[in-house]
Structure 1
Amino acid sequence: MMNKITDNVFWVGKNDDRKVPFHRLILERGTTYNSYLLTTEKPTVIDTVDIAFAKEYVDRLSEHIDLNTIEYIVINHVEPDHAGALPALAARAKNAKIVATQIGSELLKDMFKLHNREFVIVHDGDKLDIGGKTLQFFETPYLHTEETMVTYSIEDKALFPCDIFSTHIANTELFNDLAQGEYIEDFKVYYQLIMAPHRPYVRDMLKKISNLEIEIIAPSHGYILRENVNDFIRMYDEMSSLGDSASSKKVTIVFSTMTGNTSKIAGKLAEGLKEVGIEPYVFNLKNSNLDEVLDRIKISDGVLIGSSTKYGDMVGNVEELLQALKDVDASGKFAAAFGSFGWSGEGITHIENYLNDSGFTVVTQKYLILNRGIDSPAFPLRIKFSNEAGLNIAQEAGKIFGEQVLTH
């Protein structure tokens, strides 16, 4: 089915009215996979549909356009519910060039064996003339994976943001002003489940689109927003804003170091926490009073404990602190381990064991993947000496830890 969105822009997606399994959830109201065809001088497709409907999608699309005339296929996000039909489409749209971010192109090549296809790599602000319309691209990493971007049609004043501004509701009305039932709460729930774990990147995205004149938001799931469009942007702004809540959150960083490398890591973690609005309290156990440190941890929402590694063990009096933490009420408190190493690095594993035994919610890579959709190896943070790349990772890890504290 082809439905007109605006001049030469058509919806060519799939309405999935099943109870859809999705990210270990069941979408009780189903969903849509929204794909868009721009019938310009250089015909362009923006995103495809779920891999399960690839053949149906391509067959239906071929009823409306000679697939060999398609000039560009824009892929904003590589997940199978958006890019899943790309191999089937590319196989029949043999002349089409694939438009994606650098990371997106690499993923698509490997996922779908498209190494021999021509790609157009785009970066923030890049424009593409598709003959009668101009597309502009903005990178929006981690919304909700690293390669994601959004596409803006300048002449149409239409934003194609893939997962951003989406809603999981199967519908045939297409537009939000024609909705037959309540959908605002579903819109907010979608944000909380998919976007909220990446709040800083939502803020970055909002800044990037703030100067665009947007009259239509055409996402990849649910309703196309053409009524009260600014209200939906405002909702994202409000839901991603912390107001005064950040200033009330506290994180304590405690460490012991041999040569100063772990101290540098602690400093970068503190910088990352500050970036998300948390003021950290930093203690070097070599010259800190243990009771004072414990008192600070008791009133904190999170604690980061670090140690260098010597002979496969922690250094200084880190273990003394960890033993004392067994008497601290750790309910609702986040914790993580960090440290530097030279030839080994077992110190952080001992810290983690103590933190788990004491009842903290320990932030690890497993925790971040399962609970927040973050697959970067942030914690436990184990950095060899204190090279620049490692310190950059530490700063990002501070932001990630801070977000866990802020959003719980």
Structure 2
Amino acid sequence: MSIQIKDKIFWVGKIDDRKVPFHRLILERGTTYNSYLLMTEKPTVIDTVDIEFGREYVENLRKLIDPAQLEYIVINHVEPDHAGALPALAAAAKKAKIVTTELGGRLLKDMFRLHHREFILVKDGDSLDIGGKTLRFFETPFLHTEETMITYSVEDRTLFPCDIFSTHIAAGELYNDLAEEEYVEDFKLYYKLIMSPHRPYVENMLDKLKGLSIDVIAPAHGYILREDAGSFIRLYQEMSKAGNAQDKKVTIVFSTMTGNTGKAAQKLAEGIEEKGISTSVFNLKNADVAEVAEVIRASDGVLIGSSTKYADMVGKIEELLGLLKEKGVGSKLAAAFGSYGWSGEAVTHIERYLCDAGLKVVNQNFLIETLGVDQPLFPLRVKFDREEGLNTALKAGGVFAELLK
């Protein structure tokens, strides 16, 4: 199946009208996997379809073009529902160069054993002449994984944003102005489930769109938005509005033996404050535990750190954690950190207390599920006061702040 949506631009995707398992959900209204063929002097495909339909996809594509004629394959996002048919397509399109971000290239090579293929790795604002049309690329990290980008066809004023602006509906009528049923609530639900956890990055993406004239939004799932495309951009703006960051506050508390955990605390505070969120930092050696607990109660997030001595926490950290568990401080975001020399178990004890106190603990599992971050950040373990560890603390503070926005 193919449908012409603009001059020399064809939809060549797959409609999946089953109840589709997806991200631990069931898509009751199905979905589409939208792929686009640009029949220019240098024929180009933008995104593919789910890995389950790879062979069918290539056979359908052959009805429009011999894949051997393809010059470029643009992959905006490497998740298997968009890049899954790439191995089948690449096998048929042997001369096609694969266009993606630097991280996208590394992932695709490893996922699909494409180390032998030629890649064009693009950065923010890069352009590619495909013979009669110009594509511009913008990196959109964490929407909703780190490697993602969006593609804009300049002459057509058409945006190909992959998962962004998508809707999970098996949209056989393809265009939003032909929709037979209500779909805007599904559009909002998609944002809430997939994009909302990455709200700060949504705002960054919207900033990049401000200089573009957009008539059509051609996403990877659901309807192609050709009627009042700007209204859907405005919806994203409304849904992504962060609360006033200056009204947010994070409390950082630590106990230290040699000062290294204090250095990590300061770097965490620096990373948080760079995002416009205020911090209060307490060394429990010089602070009243009950007073600190009250400050934590009034905060939006808390970071608790300790050096490790004999595989345990030090100072009055355990007393504070016990009080938080006893009194309760709500379900605010919390994370553990600390310095160590040869073991570093203190953070595991802190994290266990935070969980028992009912706090929402930010750790590696949480970051993978919400942001797709694969660099270990929390619980933060800094060996002595090594520069690389303190740099990680700075980044971790920034990520923690973004989770609060």
What TM-score do you get using the length of structure 2 for normalisation? Answer: 0.95
Q: Retained in 2: the 8 A contact 1:336–1:363? A: yes
Q: Retained in 2: the 8 A contact 1:306–1:348? A: yes
Equivalent position amino acid for 1:257 in 2: T
User: Cα 1:392–1:365, aligned 2, differ >3 Å: closer, same or farther?
Assistant: same
Q: Secondary structure at the match of 1:15?
A: strand
**Residue in 1 that maps onto 2:10:** 10
Equivalent position amino acid for 1:401 in 2: F
**Residue in 1 that maps onto 2:172:** 172
Cα distance in structure 2, aligned partners of 1:243 and 1:220:
29
Partner deviation per Cα, 1:123-163 (whole Å, 9 max, x = no partner): 11111111111111111111111111111111111111110
My pick for the range that moved more, 375-384 or 91-100, is 375-384
**Residue in 2 that maps onto 1:340:** 339
Cα distance in structure 1, aligned partners of 2:369 and 2:75:
26
**Residue in 1 that maps onto 2:254:** 255
User: Cα 1:240–1:161, aligned 2, differ >3 Å: closer, same or farther?
Assistant: same
CA deviation after TM superposition for structure 1 residue 235, in Å? 1.3
Cα distance in structure 1, aligned partners of 2:186 and 2:71:
35
Cα distance in structure 1, aligned partners of 2:173 and 2:387:
53
Instruction: Check if 1:319 corresponds to 2:287.
Output: no
Partner deviation per Cα, 1:63-113 (whole Å, 9 max, x = no partner): 110111100000010000000000001111111111111111111111111
Q: Retained in 2: the 8 A contact 1:301–1:332? A: no
**Residue in 2 that maps onto 1:239:** 239
**Residue in 2 that maps onto 1:384:** 383
Cα distance in structure 2, aligned partners of 1:395 and 1:203:
22
My pick for the range that moved more, 258-267 or 113-122, is 258-267
Sequence identity percentage: 68
**Residue in 2 that maps onto 1:304:** 303
**Residue in 2 that maps onto 1:329:** 328
Residues 389-404 of structure 1: matches in 2 within 5 Å? 389-404=388-403
CA deviation after TM superposition for structure 1 residue 371, in Å? 5.1
Partner deviation per Cα, 1:23-55 (whole Å, 9 max, x = no partner): 010001111100000000000000000011111
Instruction: Check if 1:213 corresponds to 2:213.
Output: yes
**Residue in 1 that maps onto 2:277:** 278
Cα distance in structure 1, aligned partners of 2:113 and 2:46:
20
My pick for the range that moved more, 269-278 or 119-128, is 269-278
Residues 284-299 of structure 1: matches in 2 within 5 Å? 284-299=283-298
**Residue in 2 that maps onto 1:49:** 49
Where in structure 2 are there 5+ consecutive unaligned residues?
A: none
**Residue in 1 that maps onto 2:90:** 90
My pick for the range that moved more, 78-87 or 219-228, is 219-228
Where in structure 1 are there 5+ consecutive unaligned residues?
A: none
Cα distance in structure 2, aligned partners of 1:393 and 1:340:
12
Instruction: Check if 1:24 corresponds to 2:24.
Output: yes
Equivalent position amino acid for 1:237 in 2: Q
Partner deviation per Cα, 1:199-235 (whole Å, 9 max, x = no partner): 1111111112211111111110011111211111111
CA deviation after TM superposition for structure 1 residue 374, in Å? 4.1
User: Cα 1:387–1:213, aligned 2, differ >3 Å: closer, same or farther?
Assistant: farther
Partner deviation per Cα, 1:326-349 (whole Å, 9 max, x = no partner): 322133232211011222211111
Cα distance in structure 1, aligned partners of 2:212 and 2:372:
29
My pick for the range that moved more, 284-293 or 49-58, is 284-293
Count of aligned pairs: 405
Cα distance in structure 2, aligned partners of 1:382 and 1:36:
45
Cα distance in structure 1, aligned partners of 2:41 and 2:226:
25
Equivalent position amino acid for 2:343 in 1: S
Q: Secondary structure at the match of 2:99?
A: strand
CA deviation after TM superposition for structure 1 residue 316, in Å? 2.4
Q: Retained in 2: the 8 A contact 1:298–1:328? A: no
CA deviation after TM superposition for structure 1 residue 236, in Å? 1.1
Q: Retained in 2: the 8 A contact 1:197–1:373? A: no
Cα distance in structure 2, aligned partners of 1:311 and 1:334:
28
Instruction: Check if 1:64 corresponds to 2:64.
Output: yes
Cα distance in structure 2, aligned partners of 1:144 and 1:26:
19
Q: Retained in 1: the 8 A contact 2:31–2:168? A: yes
Cα distance in structure 1, aligned partners of 2:392 and 2:200:
16
